[in-house]
Copies of this chain bind each other. A is one copy, B any other.
Amino acid sequence: MRVDVVAIGTELLLGQIVDTNSSWIGEQLAAHGFDSLLQMKVGDNLARVEAVLHRALADADAVIICGGLGPTHDDLTRDAIASVMGVKLQMQQDIADRIREMFATRGRTMSDNNLRQAMVPEGAAVIVQTRGTAPGLICPVVVNGVAKVLYAVPGVPHEMKDMLERAILPDLHQRSGVAAVIASRTLRTWGESESGLNERLDPIIAELDAVGNPTLAFLASGWEGIKVRLTAKAATAQAAHELLDVWDARVRDVVGSQVFGRDGDTMESVVLQMLRERGLTLGLAESVTGGLVGARITGITGASDVFRGGIVSYASEVKFDILGVPEGPVVSEAAAAAMAVGAQRALGASVGLALTGVAGPAEQDGMPVGTLCVGLAIGDAVHTATLRMPGQREQMRQMSVITALDFLRRTLSASGA
């Protein structure tokens, strides 16, 4: 089944907002086995929206329309759909009541233009709104004797996502006539390029190509590493998850400890959890990253039971005075080790992690731009490493964060605690 996407809003064409909705929808459609072959952005203009919908329906079996469902005169999606369906819009009283109630609950008065959101094309089904005031629409339409469907969802990402998962994907599966459950799992990896992973997983990919289920895809995520996504189709959710378990294990057998987590895991959430399980606390000493590691760790709710704090020792004197680093070159494994021990002591943490390096533009202490020295103190043991980061200032710094956290993760794993 071919499902194309139309994003509506002049602000998208003007570049005031980047259309991330259609990308997200494309990703979900692919995971569910639907093709999305054309995605369009068009402004808030009735004639142009109508023309785009006619075009999209000429080729696709279904079209998902994002945006233009708000209360203002610029919001034309309902009108365009009614015109394409050749029907009228009708006020649907239960939706009007629901909108009125939503305003009342928030203690606000509803202006009348909000009732535009209760107008529904004749013959369309409503996707009840649970988050915003605009309901979604499922609109059957016949094109040259072929039954097709238009879906309309709000442009607000969390409202759109809710409706896609709750109503549109199930409706598409029903229309496609394949009674199957789709489940997917993403393995997060760090430390290998996409082509390197691809090469190592070649035998597994060949096997999967032969059986066709589950499918395997690589998603490059910049300085967040490479994601390996398995998507399984089965008669029941349990069967789909069992299939995922089998191939998840096969992939891990090959990729090994480069898999650091799955699905919603991040490197920092995994490391925090490992420290928590071992009853350890963490203190940081950051130089080149200037606080990025602490910022990411404290982005995780509940970090405070593990994370004590950090010393951002940007000036060399701060390294000497607070962290007790001996005078000398500050981009070196010796300095990183001393920083880690200093952080452990100054912050009263059982684990000290330190980063010092050269983000550029010029080299420092004779070390080239891109050099990262990591120091790690766990109890009385000290580990260090020197690594080469690629790229420009921001990329070097961001890669340093996840590299240092991965060093901590691997060292904790290897210690077998």
A140 smallest CB distance to B (angstroms): 25
> Across the two chains, which residue of chain B brings its CB closest to A27?
B15
Contact indicator A13/B39 (Cβ below 8 Å): yes
Convert A268-289 into 0s and 1s, putting 1 for each residue whose CB lies closer than 8 angstroms to a CB of B. Answer: 0000000000000000101011
Number of interface residues of A (CB under 8 A): 69
Contact indicator B308/A309 (Cβ below 8 Å): no
A354 smallest CB distance to B (angstroms): 13
Q: Is A344 an interface residue (CB 8 A)?
A: no
A372 smallest CB distance to B (angstroms): 14
Q: Is A321 an interface residue (CB 8 A)?
A: yes
Convert A33-57 into 0s and 1s, putting 1 for each residue whose CB lies closer than 8 angstroms to a CB of B. Answer: 0001111111101001000100100
Copies of this chain present? 2
Q: Is A414 an interface residue (CB 8 A)?
A: no
Contacts of A55 in B (CB 8 A): 55
Contacts of A25 in B (CB 8 A): 15
Query: Interface of chain A, helix or strand or loop or mixed?
Result: mixed
Contact indicator A299/B290 (Cβ below 8 Å): yes
Contact indicator A219/B312 (Cβ below 8 Å): no
A216 smallest CB distance to B (angstroms): 14
Which of B40, B304, B307 contacts A39, CB < 8 Å? B40
Contact indicator B23/A19 (Cβ below 8 Å): yes
Contacts of A43 in B (CB 8 A): 37
Contact indicator A26/B36 (Cβ below 8 Å): no
Q: Is A246 an interface residue (CB 8 A)?
A: no
Listed A/B pairs (12) with beta-carbon separation below 8 Å? A12-B26, A14-B36, A18-B23, A38-B41, A38-B42, A39-B41, A290-B291, A290-B295, A290-B307, A295-B397, A304-B315, A310-B311
Give the interface of A toward B (CB within 8 A): 12-20, 22-28, 30, 36-43, 45, 48, 52, 55, 219-220, 284, 286, 288-295, 297-299, 301, 303-304, 307-315, 317-318, 321-322, 346-348, 359-361, 393-394, 397
